[in-house]
């Protein structure tokens, strides 16, 4: 492949793209014009259970996985793209999935399962996967994030490998949590503790990401999908 073509991967990063590298979560604090919408959302959010809370966070993760899928498709087609979209997606994984969602699992769920002597092996595997995921996210962030970096084919291959590695692990990881761990959680804590944990999770989320922070993160992911052209759901309906 000619050098000029090789250097094309991801190099279409620009000053405009670089602005996207600004912390996604700073924008998540932005309250612009959302107060009314938030008030409506808050109503429906009043009594969310820990399992529902964690599962809708998996919904965010799933939408990030779709963003990763799309980048893999672009890499395979040797198409250029703005690396800052991928960097922002990896930032959301780091701050929302790894430092918040997985921390909830590690602090509030895993110790209770261990204490109850239930799903101990599964919990060990899930915890080891969190650690591995953080390493893969750091790789994805590094390979996608430097706006002025000129990508050659080896970097593109490394990035594709890291994206595949992340997708390969997280789809079964979250599916197992949704179908085995979370349903079992209700049976190892009292009703009172279960309800209190739901409230604690919500409070923590709002502390970290602002009032009704979950919906702000969802909006952030939606913006990235729009930039990639995968936001409109109807485009995926078979014709």
Of 124-153, binders to Fe ion (CB under 5 A) are: 126
Closest distance between Fe ion and the C-beta of residue 179, in Å?
12
Q: With respect to Fe ion, which residue has the nearer C-beta, 25 or 181? A: 181
Closest distance between Fe ion and the C-beta of residue 42, in Å?
24
Closest distance between Fe ion and the C-beta of residue 170, in Å?
9
Residue 177 contacts Fe ion per CB under 5 A = yes
Residue 53 contacts Fe ion per CB under 5 A = no
For the chain, the residue count is 239
Show the site string, 92-121: x = touches Fe ion by CB under 5 A, - = not: -------------x----------------
Closest distance between Fe ion and the C-beta of residue 200, in Å?
17
**Judging by beta carbons within 10 Å of its beta carbon (0-12, 13-18, 19+), is residue 213 exposed, middle or buried?**
buried
Q: Nearest CA to 157 among 78, 86, 89?
A: 78
DSSP state of 93: I
Q: With respect to Fe ion, which residue has the nearer C-beta, 49 or 153? A: 49
Spell out the SS3 assignment of 15-37: HHHHHCCCCHHHHHCCCCCCHHH
Calculate ∠ Cα 41-47-51, nearest 5°: 105
Q: Which stretch binds Fe ion (CB under 5 A): 44-52, 146-154, 159-167, 173-181?
A: 173-181
Longest Cα–Cα distance of the chain, Å, equals 65
Residue 205 contacts Fe ion per CB under 5 A = no
- Distance, CA of 30 to CA of 27 (rounded, Å): 5
Closest distance between Fe ion and the C-beta of residue 88, in Å?
21
Q: Which residues bind Fe ion (CB under 5 A)?
A: 105, 126, 177
């Amino acid at each position: 492949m000619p050098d000029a073509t090789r250097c094309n991967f991801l190099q279409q990063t620009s000053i405009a793209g670089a602005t996207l590298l600004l912390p996604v979560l700073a924008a998540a604090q932005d309250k612009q014009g959302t107060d009314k919408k938030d008030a409506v959302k808050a109503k429906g959010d009043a009594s969310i259970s820990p399992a529902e809370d964690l599962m809708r966070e998996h919904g965010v993760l799933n939408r990030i996985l779709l963003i990763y899928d799309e980048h893999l498709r672009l890499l395979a087609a040797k198409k250029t793209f703005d690396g800052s979209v991928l960097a922002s997606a990896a930032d959301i994984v780091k701050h929302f999935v790894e430092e918040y969602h997985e921390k909830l699992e590690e602090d509030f769920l895993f110790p209770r399962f261990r204490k109850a002597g239930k799903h101990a092996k599964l919990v060990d595997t899930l915890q080891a996967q969190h650690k591995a995921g953080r390493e893969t996210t750091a790789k994805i962030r590094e390979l996608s994030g430097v706006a002025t970096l000129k990508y050659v084919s080896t970097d593109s291959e490394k990035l594709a490998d890291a994206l595949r590695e992340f997708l390969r692990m997280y789809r079964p990881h979250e599916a197992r949590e949704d179908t085995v761990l979370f349903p079992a959680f209700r049976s190892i804590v009292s009703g009172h503790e279960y309800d209190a944990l739901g409230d604690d999770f919500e409070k923590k989320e709002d502390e970290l990401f602002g009032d009704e922070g979950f919906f702000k993160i969802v909006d952030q992911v939606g913006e990235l999908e729009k930039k990639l052209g995968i936001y409109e759901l109807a485009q995926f309906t078979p014709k």
